[in-house]
């Protein structure tokens, strides 16, 4: 028996557990997580980017808290001197824009972002060339630059939250949720792969791309599905200036990673489902030509490693769905649909879920517009610009 049973213990589950534990509830929380190494979870396979470059106030505010939290992470989750160093690498974000429509959207977003605490700038082609001389800019009309943005080690973020939550008394159970026992109004127990059942007052499904299938078993359907993404770590012999995480108009993005760079492609108009195969043909046909076009020094690069990971992709609008099953089994909570931007929202979702569970509603960032109601209403909360 636990008051609060969390299903999935990666960035969301561990951050929720941490925020509940700091609020004094550690002894009442149990996290079900099958894999303490997080081999297949999205978080450690992500780019770890934390940007204020969003088109909705809620998303900007969640990332403002994400940046604050990750900048002070080592201190906040310290357990006997661990994790020691945890760097927020403030290399910035850069969204390259081609065409008047994209420039117009970015200008509007930039104003919104700055009204929520960002110091983003629209820069013209000459300024772009001056700041990043290795980039080809003749086919770029403008760029949105977020100098305060950056990235973190996403695996260290998961482990940091988990370790701190455990040190405060949260129990992590190594098992897998396979179903629920319910009555007419509530979930009573979660059934585990081992055959064990855990009773609870509330249940929180944050099992990432696996989560919607678990919810479907009790009749709650999400427009969210796994979306496979391949990432390539490359090295180049030639030296470049420090590069921000750059998103190209081709939807290819790249960022520095240790001695090299990671390269990814955001393609959302493709079929969903788990697919662990790394798409080498996408690298050869789209990603490499795109990065070599943008930064000619990338013509001579070598792929050193590659991996695949999955977005929990929200087909309705690419955005977070958070809350409880209002009008259904009301003690069933969820946070899903983070698509390509959940790592940065981890701290804010942890705090938001703690507010829903302990404080009776949102106290800091009002995420009401991100409830399940918009799924029922088929009313997308669309974010334009640098999304997914
Ligand atoms: C290639 C790529 C790049 C990305 N880049 C970024 C980025 O730059 N910035 C950013 O903010 N976000 C990024 N993301 C998105 C981010 O990784 C996710 O939004 C985030 O990790 C979601 O966290 P989560 O805890 O919901 O899910 P996950 O990290 O996927 O964790 C889900 C957990 O649930 C567990 N689980 C599964 N089934 C069960 C079950 N039946 N019972 C119990 N537990 C279960 C799994 O073992 C896993 O640990 C990226 C994602 C990908 C794939």
CATH number of the domain to which 275 belongs:
3.30.9.10
How many alpha carbons lie under 13 Å from residue 139 in its C-beta half-sphere? Answer: 8
Statement: residue 275 has pLDDT above 70 = yes
Token match 């697919």: residue?
A: 275
pLDDT-based confidence at 387, cuts 50/70/90?
Answer: low
Same domain, 99 and 14: no
In three-state secondary structure terms, 217 is: coil
Residues 143 and 160 in one domain: no
What digits encode the pLDDT tens for the residues 331-340?
Answer: 999 999 999 9
Tell me the CA–centroid distance for residue 293 and ligand 1, in Å: 31
Same domain, residue pair 145 and 245: yes
Q: How far apart are CA 213 and CA 9, in angstroms?
A: 17
Q: What is the C-alpha radius of gyration for the chain, rounded to an integer number of angstroms?
A: 21
Q: Is residue 383 part of a domain?
A: no
Same domain, 50 and 183: yes
Find the mean pLDDT for residues 305-320.
97
pLDDT above 90 covers a percentage of the chain that reads 94
The answer on 109 and 166 residing in a single domain is: no
Q: Look at ligand 1, atom 50, and give the residue with the nearest C-alpha.
A: 46
- pLDDT of 69 reads 98
Question: Quick check: 290 and 283 in contact, CB under 8 A?
Answer: no
Same domain as 240, residue 126? yes
Residue nearest to atom 2 of ligand 1 (CA): 46
Within 6 A (CB) of ligand 1 lie 7-13, 32-35, 38, 41-43, 45-49, 176-177, 206-210, 214, 229, 231, 264, 309-311, 338, 340-344
Listed residues 257, 289, 311: the one ending a domain: 311
Pair (164, 307) in one structural domain:
no
Same domain, 278 and 194: no
384 in a structural domain: no
Q: What are phi and psi of 374, to 5 degrees?
A: -70, -25
Residues 6 or more apart whose CB falls under 8 angstroms from that of 111 comprise none
- Contact between 247 and 386 under an 8 Å Cβ cutoff? The reply is yes
> Do both 302 and 229 map to the same domain?
yes
pLDDT higher than threshold 80 for residue 39: yes
Query: Does 231 share its domain with 296?
Result: yes
Number of domains in the chain: 2
Per-residue pLDDT reduced to its tens digit, 86-128: 999 999 999 999 999 999 999 999 999 999 999 999 999 999 9
The CATH number that applies at residue 201 is 3.50.50.60
Residue 245 included in any domain: yes
Q: Are residues 143 and 185 in the same domain?
A: no
Average pLDDT over every residue of 32-60: 98
Give the whole-number percent of the chain exceeding pLDDT 70. Answer: 99
Mean pLDDT across 47-68: 98
Three-state SS sequence of 161-204: HHHHHHHCCCEEECCCEEEEEECCCCEEEEEECCCCEEEEEEEE
Instruction: Say how many C-beta atoms besides its own lie within 10 A of residue 362's C-beta.
Output: 15
Structural domain that includes position 208: 2-83+153-223+316-376
């Amino acid at each position: 028996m636990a008051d609060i049973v969390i299903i999935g213990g990666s960035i969301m589950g561990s951050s929720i557990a941490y925020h509940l534990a700091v609020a004094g509830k550690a002894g009442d929380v149990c996290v079900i997580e099958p894999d303490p190494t997080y081999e297949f979870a999205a978080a450690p396979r992500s780019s770890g980017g934390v940007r204020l470059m969003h088109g909705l106030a809620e998303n900007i505010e969640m990332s403002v808290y994400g940046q604050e939290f990750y900048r002070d992470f080592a201190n906040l989750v310290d357990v006997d001197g661990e994790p020691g160093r945890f760097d927020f690498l403030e290399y910035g974000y850069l969204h390259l824009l081609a065409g008047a429509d994209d420039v117009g959207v970015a200008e509007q977003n930039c104003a919104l972002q700055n009204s929520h605490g960002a110091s983003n700038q629209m820069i013209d082609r000459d300024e772009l060339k001056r700041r990043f001389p290795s980039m080809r800019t003749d086919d770029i009309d403008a760029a949105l630059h977020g100098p305060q943005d950056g990235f973190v080690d996403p695996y260290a973020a998961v482990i940091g939250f988990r370790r701190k939550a455990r040190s405060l008394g949260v129990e992590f159970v190594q098992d897998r949720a396979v179903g629920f026992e319910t009555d007419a109004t509530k979930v009573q127990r979660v059934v585990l792969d081992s055959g064990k059942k855990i009773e609870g007052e509330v249940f929180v499904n944050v099992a990432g791309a696996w989560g919607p299938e678990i919810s479907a078993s009790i009749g709650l359907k999400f427009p969210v599905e796994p979306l496979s993404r391949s990432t390539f770590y490359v090295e180049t012999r030639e030296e470049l200036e420090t590069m921000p995480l750059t998103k190209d108009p081709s939807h290819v993005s790249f960022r520095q990673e240790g001695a090299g760079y990671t390269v990814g492609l955001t393609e959302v108009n493709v079929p969903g489902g788990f697919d662990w195969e790394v798409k080498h043909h996408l690298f050869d046909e789209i990603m490499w030509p795109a990065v070599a076009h943008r930064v000619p020094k990338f013509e001579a690069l070598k792929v050193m490693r590659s991996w695949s990971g999955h977005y929990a992709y929200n087909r309705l609008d690419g955005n977070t769905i958070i809350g409880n099953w209002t009008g259904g089994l009301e003690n069933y909570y969820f946070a899903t649909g983070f698509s390509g931007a959940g790592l940065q929202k981890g701290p804010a979702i942890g705090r938001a879920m703690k507010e829903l569970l302990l404080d009776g509603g949102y106290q800091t960032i009002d995420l009401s517009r991100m409830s399940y109601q918009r799924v029922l209403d088929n009313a997308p909360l669309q974010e334009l610009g640098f999304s997914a």
